[in-house]
Amino acid sequence: MPLSRTLPVADATLVSFIIKVNGSEISNTYVVTGISVYREANRIPRAVIQVMDGSAAESDFPVSNEEVFVPGNEIDIQAGYNAKNETIFKGLIVKHSLKIRGDRSPVLTIECMDKAAKLTLSRRNKYYAEVKDSEVIEELASAAALDPDIEATTVKHKELVQYYCTDWDFIVTRAESNGKLCFVEDGKLLVKKPDMSQPPALDLVFGATIMELDAEMDARHQVTGVETVGWDPAEQQLITTTGAEPGLTEQGNISSADLADVFKTDPYHLQHGGSMPEDELQAWADAQLLKNRLAKIRGRARLMGNAIIKPGMVAQLGGVGERFNGKVYVTGVRHELQEGAWNMDIQFGLAPQWFATQPDVTHASASAVIPGIKGLHTGIVTDLEDPDGGFRVKVKLPEISADEEGTWARMASFYAGNNRTAFFRPEIEDEVIVGFLHEDPNFPVILGSLHSAKNVSPEEHSNDNFRKIIFTASELKMTFDDEKKSFTVETPGGKKISIDDDGKIIKVEDENGNKMTMESSAIKIESAGDLELKAAKEIKLTAPNITVKADAALEVEGGASAKVGSSGTCTIKGSLVQIN
């Protein structure tokens, strides 16, 4: 079926427009010199109105002085032909500016935005639990007094965190991760997957309805496929998913597969270090492939203004050659009314970049209060005695200054709290690794200490990695040996305590040859000199048999009394026995 060579606009001879503020038309004495309206996927619609204003003779600006174009007023811009107008923008006045140039008439510029702009004004933080992205988006849209029309997503998050970003940026990024686009239309938020199966809203033919065209096909944006990789901590292995082809009706006569074959690259690789579940990885892969396919052909077409075509619709291009003829997905429109003419540009195709890669989506380093510092840095410890009592350690970063003492840093610990600690401090001149809270150079944190070829470890490294050691500067040593299942505490003077599961022994010994050994068969106490047992009250020895042997002399003395007895035979024997 041949394409229509005219737009379905009746009697398009005389351009007309109406501007209503708070429901009332503005005065026809206002000289409106231009109106521009911008609508685009994943962006808030906006409009710009230019009005001649000001009298040099009277030094006054009557239009600006009136209450009509005050920020906060509601505005409705309608355009059409021969007074048959339709709304092309509804929103709020947000900006009122005056420009005076000596050689030109003063211009009052009024900027307007859809009321969805409220979503862009401040960064917020929030925890969500057991929710789908579509549910979060609907909640945020409703809170901003928008009318939500949200296509359901499938992934349900156990936890989802919005960190210091605007609600709008959070909405768009979550929608985009599910292969959906956001459209705002006069206070209504629509979130939906691009639909190329819908009938074209307009036929556009070069030489008839297309005034200008820019179109490009870029092989670099077409891929053989998409794979996403994430980590499964429960199984301790990678999860890999493959993006499903979106099945779009492709524009032109060169397919995405043909363009992807130009470089014959491996599938486009996305990876995430977190424990992203498989269904979320799959949605991510599908979204990336959809984005790439919609980026195959991008461009714009200029045509006569109309209120029919909007972002999210499909147009049919014709008369622009075999490479570009076909259905295009409209992702943006721009209306321009100026000098009695109404023209519009439609934007088709989609940028291949993710929305979150834009510079302002993620907050600035150090919240922009100071130039930030990124990554981890090497530091040298210079002082351990915090004058403010904050238990900090002074550290210098050689790349900032190797000659100064540096700044005070908090010290990370694997256990710390009120009157609780695992107290391990680096030594002065130790090399440490330093990070920064909020990427602010004024708030360093020492994350750990480092060995090097100069600052060597006292323990040889091996792949077996059986031994774990704490070894202090004065050579106090604690050793955990997983191979022997043993634990040893040693001092540099030779004192040692060993607990050994493999040898089934507990031993205490010193540098003098004194030993106490606990084994399965016996407990032995050996002294290289004297052995003294002393108690404030009693010493009791109980056993089936007790043997006391002295190689030279044995003396048993009771200060008050002494008693030797037996319920059986009692034998006192010697070469000479003296009693009293």
Task: Out of 115, 150, 168, pick the residue that ends a domain.
Answer: 115
pLDDT the model gives residue 303: 96
Average pLDDT of span 285-312: 97
Asked if residue 474 is part of any domain, the answer here is: yes
Looking at the structure, tell me whether residues 503 and 442 fall in a common domain: no
- Distance separating alpha carbons of residues 222 and 262, to the nearest angstrom: 9
d(Cα 580, Cα 575) in Å, to the nearest integer?
16
Residue 133 resides in a domain: no
d(CA 312, CA 298): 15
Decide which of 80, 98, 115 is a domain's last residue.
115
Res 402: pLDDT: 94
415 and 478 in a single domain? The answer is no
Domain count for the chain = 3
Q: Is the pLDDT of residue 351 over 90?
A: yes
Q: Is residue 377 assigned to a domain?
A: yes
Task: State residue 1's pLDDT score.
Answer: 64
Is 540 inside any structural domain? no
Residues 370 and 418 in one domain: yes
Give the C-alpha separation, 175 to 189, whole Å: 12
Structural domain ending residue among the three candidates 449, 476, 496? 449
Alpha carbon 316 to its chain centroid, in Å, reads 40
CATH code of the domain covering residue 481: 2.20.220
Q: Are residues 498 and 431 in the same domain?
A: no
Residues 185-203 have pLDDT tens digits of: 999 999 999 999 999 999 9
96 and 33 within one domain = yes
On whether residue 336 sits in a domain, the answer given is: no
Distance between CA atoms of 492 and 478, rounded to whole angstroms? Answer: 11
**Which residue range is the domain that position 504 belongs to?**
467-526
Would you say residue 130 lies in a domain? no
Q: To the nearest whole number, what is the mean pLDDT of the chain?
A: 94
The CATH number of whichever domain residue 63 belongs to comes to 2.30.300.10
Q: 410: pLDDT confidence band, cut at 50, 70 and 90?
A: very high
In terms of Cα–Cα distance, which of 509, 543, 541, 507 is closest to 528? Answer: 509
Looking at the fold, whether 442 and 476 belong to one and the same domain comes out as no
Q: For the residues 502-528, what does the mean pLDDT come to?
A: 93
Residue 325, in any domain of the structure: no
Reported as a pLDDT band with limits 50, 70 and 90, residue 251 is very high
CA–chain centroid gap for 199, Å, is 39
Is 367 in a helix, a strand, or coil?
Answer: helix
By percentage, how much of the chain surpasses pLDDT 70?
99
Q: What's the whole-model pTM score?
A: 0.89
Half-sphere exposure of 444 (CA within 13 A, CB side): 24
Examine the pLDDT at 433 and tell me if it is beyond 90.
Answer: yes
Statement to judge: residues 443 and 480 lie in one domain: no
Residue 202 confidence (pLDDT): 95
Residues 439 and 369 in one domain: yes
389 CB contacts (<8 Å, ≥6 apart)?
Answer: none
User: Is residue 286 a contact partner of residue 179, using CB atoms and an 8 Å limit?
Assistant: yes
Residues 370 and 437 in one domain: yes
Could you tell me if 91 and 21 lie in one domain?
Answer: yes
Q: Which structure tokens are listed for 549?
A: 């042997």
Dist CA 481 CA 215 (whole Å): 69
For residue 572, being part of any structural domain is answered with no
pLDDT greater than 80 at residue 182: yes
